[in-house]
């Protein structure tokens, strides 16, 4: 085989391994026409020795997609960049399981106003958890993930692909549920969460037990099931704005979180009361280490 033909074959294999154009666009690797140089960059980026190696995120293989069975090249790339970003994210204290309930209490204080989302990264850091934000690559449908740099260093990464207050807090608490259960540390996969919310989300009954558990934790952390059940029983199906706002105020949360929970429960459509689903991405990314939307970490 001629050298030029070998180069073409190698480039084809490289483009099968990863979404090269997107990685270049995001400045995760540098543009080059040299196939060998491109291979060297990809191996370094994915922290693997050979293009034949399987995806690995320390310390376990990530084996999840929308079918919860495998990870796509683009999802793998997103996780790798999240890990690179997390390595440089400082924490203010060591992670301690015994303080977990205290952490949840401190986070709940932030649920009343959109701008309070800017404090999420700081609060998590004070309890030894790194929060990073990585804009998703095309067609990955990622919402978040939980992984560990080592047994005492949990990381939560969010994509914030839906810039809404309900999506942000539900996904954050969902991933926190994975941290609580030590998912990605005590078993052989890294939770990679896709389509957690919205019309594309899989039905609860089709999810693995670990995902059902994390969903339940997130919902309960935002508004307890008992309180939401009581609210629904009292006013269904007339979910007027003033009723939603009153219930939200009593429970110390933004009305958008009530709307999100009602949508999640199937009580209202995903088109209902969307004007109450305030944006928060700008607040979060001002404080959390972020890669995306024009921000490129050094």
pLDDT tens by residue, 23-51: 999 999 999 999 999 999 999 999 888 88
The contacts of residue 77 (CB under 8 Å, 6+ apart) are: 18, 19, 22, 23, 28, 45, 46, 137
Mean pLDDT of the chain: 89
The contacts of residue 267 (CB under 8 Å, 6+ apart) are: 232, 236, 237, 239
Q: Burial of 268 by CB count in 10 Å (0-12 exposed, 13-18 middle, 19+ buried)?
A: middle
Residue 75: the pLDDT is 92
Residue 3: the pLDDT is 54
**Rounded to an integer, what distance in angstroms lies between the CA atom of residue 231 and that of residue 225?**
10
Residue 264: the pLDDT is 87
Contact 120, 107 (CB under 8 A): yes
* Res 66 pLDDT > 60: no
Residue 17: the pLDDT is 86
Q: Burial of 19 by CB count in 10 Å (0-12 exposed, 13-18 middle, 19+ buried)?
A: buried
- The token duo for 95 is 């992670």
- Say whether 18 sits in a helix, a strand or coil: coil
**Rounded to an integer, what distance in angstroms lies between the CA atom of residue 76 and that of residue 70?**
10
Domain boundaries in the chain?
1-53, 54-221+278-291
* Res 59 pLDDT > 60: no
* pLDDT band at residue 290 under the 50/70/90 scheme: very high
Question: CA neighbours within 13 Å on the CB side: how many for 4?
Answer: 0
Pairing of strands 154-158, 142-148: antiparallel
Residue 296: the pLDDT is 77
* Res 222 pLDDT > 50: yes
Highest mean pLDDT among 41-50, 73-82, 107-116, 192-201: 107-116
Contact 142, 161 (CB under 8 A): yes
Q: List, for residues 187-212, the tens digit of each pLDDT value.
A: 667 778 888 876 666 666 667 888 99
């Amino acid at each position: 085989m001629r050298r030029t033909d070998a180069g073409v074959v190698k480039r084809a294999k490289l483009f099968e391994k990863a979404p090269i154009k997107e990685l270049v666009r995001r400045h995760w690797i540098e543009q080059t026409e040299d196939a060998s140089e491109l291979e060297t960059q990809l191996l370094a980026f994915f922290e693997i020795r050979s293009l034949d190696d399987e995806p690995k995120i320390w310390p376990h293989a990530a084996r999840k997609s929308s079918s919860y069975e495998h990870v796509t090249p683009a999802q793998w790339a997103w996780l790798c960049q999240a890990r690179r970003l997390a390595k440089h994210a400082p924490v203010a204290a060591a992670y301690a399981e015994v303080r977990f309930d205290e952490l949840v209490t401190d986070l709940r204080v932030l649920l009343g106003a959109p701008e309070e989302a800017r404090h999420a990264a700081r609060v998590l850091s004070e309890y030894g958890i790194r929060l990073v934000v990585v804009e998703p690559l095309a067609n990955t449908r990622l919402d978040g993930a939980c992984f560990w740099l080592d047994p005492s260093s949990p990381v939560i990464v969010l994509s914030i692909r839906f810039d809404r207050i309900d999506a942000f807090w539900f996904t954050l608490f969902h991933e926190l549920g994975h941290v609580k259960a030590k998912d990605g540390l005590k078993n052989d996969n890294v939770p990679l969460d896709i389509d957690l919310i919205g019309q594309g989300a899989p039905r609860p009954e089709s999810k693995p037990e670990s995902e059902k558990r994390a969903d339940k934790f997130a919902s309960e952390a935002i508004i307890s099931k008992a309180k939401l059940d009581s609210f629904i029983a009292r006013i269904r199906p007339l979910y007027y704005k003033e009723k939603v706002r009153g219930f939200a105020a009593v429970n110390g949360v933004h009305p958008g979180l009530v709307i999100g929970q009602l949508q999640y429960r199937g009580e209202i459509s995903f088109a209902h009361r969307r004007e109450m689903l305030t944006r928060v991405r700008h607040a979060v990314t001002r404080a959390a280490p972020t890669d995306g939307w024009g921000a490129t970490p050094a």
